[in-house]
Structures are given as structure tokens and as C-alpha cells.
Amino acid sequence: MEMDMQVLKTFLAASAMLAAGAGSSGQPARADGRAVVVLDNAKVRVLKTTGAALAGVAHGPGVVVPIEDGPTRKKGEAYWAAGKESSGSDPGPLVFVEPKPFTTGAPTSRMGSKPGDAPFVGMSFKTLFENETVTAIRARMDVSAREGLHTHASDTIVVHLSGGAIEDTANGTTRVNRWKPGDVELESRGSSHSARNVGEAIDVVLVALKR
């Protein structure tokens, strides 16, 4: 049976916490500074690490999402890193989204909506960059913002910058998910839900996979 999207979200956040101890900022971090894998499937691998540690981790091209302000980049200023030399310009905490090569023929057709296409109130979306592999978007949910029922046209990694509380309704079930800065969730292609912000304003980076 396919895992409910909300259960998967909770599992990812819990896995990150179990895989690592709490750092000085309260966010998951290994004592040895190495990367923590919070998601790894056939399409993408997601790491929580630091700019200082990422250079020592074997990885391919991907999206770097700083979680805190650094010397050269602000929190949430996501960018594409083609190789190790460009993947850790700031030493602070980050999330690294590494799409895996597509090797099984032509991509399947996408039915559903892209981020920002669904009916919403009190939300904003700004494309940070786009290439043949991903679209990276900065999104915000103001207090009491709502997003209508929609189906995701692509697998989308959500990197939480501010944390917050979101009421999600999917498959007839409503629950409140509470997130912290640096938490990661997966919104799977083909999954459907509606959302409402039930806390403070929420800032995230969305990484929508194109394969």
C-alpha cells in the first residue's frame, strides 16, 4: 500500500532527528560534522550538513540551500552546485538536494499543478533559478494563508527556513505538521492535499524535480 503523504513527511522529519544529535542551534547535526542523509530514493538524495563538511562528501551536482545567513549568501539563497568546488562556499548549515540521473527511458507525463499554480490566499512564490533538472522556488505562507486542493505535478523537496505549523488535509484526513528550520519534507508527484498556515509566517525553498 502506498504510504500516505503526511505519514511520509513525518517520517522524514523524524528520521533526520534520529539520525543525528541536536546541535547548538537545536538542529540535527552529527558530532563529527559529517552529512546526514534525510532522504534517499530512486530520484533524489537529500543531505543535511554544513558548507565546511560538504566538500568532503562524495556527491554529484545539486541544489545548495543555506539554512542560516553566511558571509557570502543569505538564508534561503539557493543555488546550483555543479561540483565540489562550488558546493560549500559558506561554512554554515545547509541542505543539499542531489537529483539522481534519469536512466529508465523517457520521463512520464506530468499531471497536476506546479508550485504556485493552485488557488491560494496569502502566499507568494519567486523562482530562484531553473535548469534542465530542477526548478528552485522561494515560497512564503503568511499568517492564516491557505492553499486549495491540488495535485503535485512533480516530486518536490520542501526545505523549511523558518519552521512553523501547517494544517494539511489529504485523503480525507486533516492533521497539523510542525516544522523547524532545516526540516525537509517530500511532496510526491501525484499526491493531493490542501494546506493552511495555523501559526506564524512560514518561509521555505521548494526544489521541484523535472525527471
Q: How many domains does the chain have?
A: 2
Residue 111 maps to a domain: no
124, 188: one domain: yes
Residue 169 maps to a domain: yes
Contact 180, 26 (CB under 8 A): yes
In the prediction, which pLDDT does 24 show? 30
In the prediction, which pLDDT does 1 show? 39
Of the residues 66, 99, 132, the one at which a domain ends? 99
Residue 113 maps to a domain: no
* E strands present in 24-133: 28-29, 36-40, 44-50, 62-66, 79-81, 93-99, 120-130
Q: How many residues does the chain have?
A: 211
In the prediction, which pLDDT does 84 show? 66
In the prediction, which pLDDT does 103 show? 65
164, 90: one domain: no
Residue 115 maps to a domain: no
Sign for the pseudo-dihedral over CA of 37, 40, 46, 51: positive
- Weakly modelled stretches of the chain, pLDDT under 70: 1-33, 84-89, 103-110
128, 193: one domain: yes
In the prediction, which pLDDT does 56 show? 84
Residue 52 maps to a domain: yes
21, 69: one domain: yes
DSSP 196: E
CA 61 – CA 102 distance, rounded (Å): 13
> What's at 94, amino acid-wise?
L
Residue 114 maps to a domain: no
CA 99 – CA 81 distance, rounded (Å): 12
Cell (9 digits) for 166? 501547517
- What pTM was computed for the model? 0.81
Q: Quickly count: other Cβ atoms within 10 Å of residue 124's Cβ.
A: 13
> Which domain covers residue 40, as residue numbers?
5-99
What SS3 state is found at 208?
A: strand
Contact 49, 57 (CB under 8 A): yes
141, 182: one domain: yes
